[in-house]
Amino acid sequence: MEEKISINHKFDLASLAKQLTGLTILQLIYKGLLKSNDPIGKYFPELKPALQKVTVRQLANHTNGIHDFYTLTDKHDSLTNQKILTMLSQLDSTVFTPGTKWGYSNSGYVLLSLLIERVTKTSYQNYCSKNILSPLGMTSYCFAPTTDTVLTGYTSKMEPEKIRPFTSGASGLYASGTDIIAYYKAVSKD
């Protein structure tokens, strides 16, 4: 017998995790730990010049022109933030001149996650848990990879999607309906 979905089941938030990353970046700017117009080369000296000049703001608003990591490899289920940073460190060009266009980039949010770690000297997960999720009243969330029971979707062949280790910043967050309600109540109040 299949169990019905409830508000307490944990769902893969996928790209909705970007909101958490954005909120965390805004908090760090508010605390004076970074500036929105800082070039990311200040935090990522291993990147080549074309990427170093991208700003924190351009990462956050998808105007950075950085290649989306999905286009750089077909081995998506074995990616980590560090592997993505290594791939990006080999690039010396962007898809377009940063700041001139909009182009959705998961890479930008992986870099923001790594930036949070470099600025706070703690993991993305620890910082977000302590400074964002718990204060907002979110109590059942977990980050990928996880051993928690989480709901998954189905592939185009109607086979259950496999849970796999993934990245943080652009995705990698699971939360219950109760957590999502707590999050939206909090952020809608300023």
Active site residue 78: no
The tokens 């998506």 sit on which residue? Answer: 76
59: buried, middle or exposed (CB in 10 Å: 19+, 13-18, 0-12)?
buried
Helices (H), 76-159: 81-89, 106-120, 124-128
Kindly name the residue from 6, 15, 113, 140 that is annotated as catalytic: 15
> What does the alpha-carbon distance between residue 166 and residue 78 come to, in Å, rounded to a whole number?
7
Which of 110, 56, 109, 33 has its CA nearest to residue 79? 110
Q: Which residues are catalytic?
A: 15
